[in-house]
Structure 1
């Protein structure tokens, strides 16, 4: 709990500082993109009342929780109060995998984990760990909101789960303590902390770095003591964890894009009338669109704040990104059959038309 509290407190402080120190950014927690008005008529149910607990692992200060607040607003208003939504942040009811297990057991109604921890259950989700597959947020939106995303939700609606929507965890960025990184050559021999994820290990090994799996809780101390030279996470995590205090260099690599997937317990789903099932699907779609807007607003503001605090951020040109992509071609060869070549081809047809 302490780490979650610290992250939340730190981020709240950052956002408050942003609002005070920079009129052009002016992004206090209350200045996130405002909650949209709830559109749509009241949905008739079956006369019964339902309570829905929605648990996430991220903090109350982030974009994901803000999206959940909008989801609650939509569902409660459009069910005319017949569905009550209770929100739980910061892994209060368990981490991503524990929450998914609770959905399967029917003791929790909804959660929205990152796709990465679910790869053992849904191997196709490993596609989101492939490097540089989503060159822009717009491409990610087109994939997730289109036929591919719809198909992947249907495929993930098994194992006691119903998958009803997507939101954004975002792009991962590189930080290090040694020097600015703009080519794969600059990574030779650098010890980079990664998640315990086989594709991520493959990515950094192929780039010439020395990937070092380590729990997130140990990471700040390891960076501070030089046990590892660098790490990779979204800007919001880099700032809230104060990695910039021990990592003077960053590169906006955008090397991996990770979505959140919105899941409902099949046991709960089957109790709902069809009209309420439809309402949850609509609300999940609205939540996802709004949450991405919040995520991108926070992301841009926090990147600027890191610059203002003295972090040297390298932004890669299209040619430099292409060099990283070419170097990482073997990773695609290694994982193509395991993930599904057709799925990769379909996404690449959108990302590289």
Structure 2
């Protein structure tokens, strides 16, 4: 009798606890999604009261933390992580994913028959299943940011979706160049792609803003703009029918030449530049007196080796990956252009995925983007050093010559606004953000 009463009392206590306790199970998917977006830069969706309520639930659901860790996690949830070390940010981001976003493994069966994407479904011999999203990229497997996708992004997405979504990449141009991959996405042969700066611009013309000549002076400026405009960039892609999964980069590009070193602005006239990067690069080269020859990516190497062209603009990892470093003699490391890169999925496919999976994917990938770009830069720096060691000669312009080159290229900024790639208001906002950053960080 006493035992039965004890069991009843225990059950009553558990009911009271779960009814009275705020936890992530009491939060709606919409609330968790909004908080995930808040932590990645979407600051206008939640009121202070909503943030307080959701943060409280998130903290209470993070069981097993020490008091010090709970204090640190609470700080993380405010979005103020500037004083966190990279391992700390990763640790508390993972706690947020695991307690608030990850699809519980026991609920995976609920997604066995998602309408519209059964053609992507693959059933394993053990009866488990996943949805395979096919993507193409020019990037060679195991090199640069393609290696980071394989090491970080692919397993991360598989984990946060509890094995529901798998990205199957076709590397090294096996699906063609950026133009071909976009065409295959339109006819649904592929669901997405990993793109160079040119592919990003083809998918989303507004990305020309990031690629304007001498827009940025250093990485800190790039990251400042991304910190302010990452949500807007996603909206630009959605307007054109794509979901931006990963905002990566090629890095700052360099100028390579074989016959003539590019030491002054007038030296552009002496070299035969190839261009595979589209109308923006073509216009840039014409503005400095060059006569660029448009060439598709598969013909680039042959054009250089046979002497059809003898100069190009590219990131160092591309020059190494294509072995162009064995042919080129001179390298000018000026930051003539910053080139973004990224992974996108068609909105047609993205909209068919479960909301829980989309929220988890977006938060996870956005949370690792900055560190992803840092690692891309480290890879490119190693490539630069390797090319110098191989014997490539570095040539530089004087500050006065750089200023002259900038003067010749500045009209391109307004010209592409007039062409409709982006609005004059967007360009003005970019300029204002950079002026703001430079004023705050002006060298004393």
Band the TM-score falls in, shorter-chain normalisation:
0.7 to 0.9
SS of the residue corresponding to residue 156 of structure 1 reads: helix
Change (3 A) 1:135 1:273: same
In structure 2, the residue matched to 1:277 is: 358
Task: Give the alignment partner of residue 349 of structure 1, picking from 407, 432, 441.
Answer: 432
In structure 1, the residue matched to 2:198 is: 116
TM-superposed deviation, 1:281:
0.6
In structure 1, the residue matched to 2:103 is: 43
For residues 280 and 190 of structure 2, the distance between their equivalents in structure 1, rounded to whole angstroms, comes to 30
Q: TM-score, normalised by structure 1?
A: 0.79
Task: Give the alignment partner of residue 159 of structure 2, picking from 74, 77, 80.
Answer: 77
TM-superposed deviation, 1:90:
1.9
TM-superposed deviation, 1:308:
0.8
SS of the residue corresponding to residue 395 of structure 2 reads: strand
Task: Give the alignment partner of residue 53 of structure 1, picking from 133, 144, 156.
Answer: 133
The alignment status of 1:250 with 2:313, answered yes or no, reads: no
Deviations 1:69-101 (A, max 9, x none): 212222222222233343332233454344334
Q: Which moved more, 1:227-236 or 1:74-83?
A: 74-83
In structure 1, the residue matched to 2:219 is: 137
Contact 2:161–2:361 (8 Å) recurs in 1: no
Contact 1:250–1:311 (8 Å) recurs in 2: yes
In structure 1, the residue matched to 2:371 is: 290
TM-superposed deviation, 1:60:
0.9
Contact 1:67–1:291 (8 Å) recurs in 2: yes
For residues 191 and 230 of structure 1, the distance between their equivalents in structure 2, rounded to whole angstroms, comes to 6
For residues 146 and 199 of structure 1, the distance between their equivalents in structure 2, rounded to whole angstroms, comes to 24
For residues 174 and 163 of structure 2, the distance between their equivalents in structure 1, rounded to whole angstroms, comes to 25
Deviations 1:137-183 (A, max 9, x none): 22222222322x32121121135422244111222211112333232
For residues 224 and 73 of structure 1, the distance between their equivalents in structure 2, rounded to whole angstroms, comes to 38
SS of the residue corresponding to residue 339 of structure 2 reads: strand
SS of the residue corresponding to residue 60 of structure 1 reads: coil
Contact 2:329–2:392 (8 Å) recurs in 1: yes
Task: Give the alignment partner of residue 334 of structure 1, picking from 404, 407, 415.
Answer: 415
Q: TM-score, normalised by structure 2?
A: 0.64
**Which structure has the bigger radius of gyration?**
2
For residues 221 and 80 of structure 1, the distance between their equivalents in structure 2, rounded to whole angstroms, comes to 45
Deviations 1:41-73 (A, max 9, x none): 033466215413242221112222233221222
For residues 251 and 101 of structure 1, the distance between their equivalents in structure 2, rounded to whole angstroms, comes to 34
Change (3 A) 1:166 1:341: same
For residues 293 and 214 of structure 2, the distance between their equivalents in structure 1, rounded to whole angstroms, comes to 21
- After the TM superposition, which residues 120-269 of structure 1 pair with which residues of structure 2 at under 5 Å, given as runs? 122-147=204-229, 149-195=230-276, 197-269=278-350
TM-superposed deviation, 1:104:
4.3
For residues 202 and 154 of structure 2, the distance between their equivalents in structure 1, rounded to whole angstroms, comes to 30
Which runs of 5 or more structure 2 residues have no equivalent in the other structure? Answer: 1-86, 113-129, 439-444
Change (3 A) 1:144 1:272: same
In structure 2, the residue matched to 1:323 is: 404
Q: Which has the higher contact order (CA 8 A, sep 6+)?
A: 1
TM-superposed deviation, 1:233:
1.2
Q: Which runs of 4+ in 1 moved over 6 A?
A: none
SS of the residue corresponding to residue 256 of structure 1 reads: strand
For residues 139 and 238 of structure 2, the distance between their equivalents in structure 1, rounded to whole angstroms, comes to 23
Question: For the aligned residues, what is the CA RMSD?
Answer: 2.7
Contact 2:414–2:424 (8 Å) recurs in 1: no
The alignment status of 1:311 with 2:392, answered yes or no, reads: yes
Change (3 A) 1:118 1:239: closer
Contact 2:258–2:327 (8 Å) recurs in 1: yes
For residues 135 and 210 of structure 1, the distance between their equivalents in structure 2, rounded to whole angstroms, comes to 26
Question: When you count helix as a share of all residues, which structure comes out higher?
Answer: 2
Deviations 1:124-145 (A, max 9, x none): 2222342111221222222223
For residues 298 and 168 of structure 2, the distance between their equivalents in structure 1, rounded to whole angstroms, comes to 28
Query: How many residues end up aligned between the 2 structures?
Result: 318
TM-superposed deviation, 1:254:
2.3
SS of the residue corresponding to residue 87 of structure 1 reads: strand
For residues 161 and 299 of structure 2, the distance between their equivalents in structure 1, rounded to whole angstroms, comes to 44
TM-superposed deviation, 1:342:
1.8
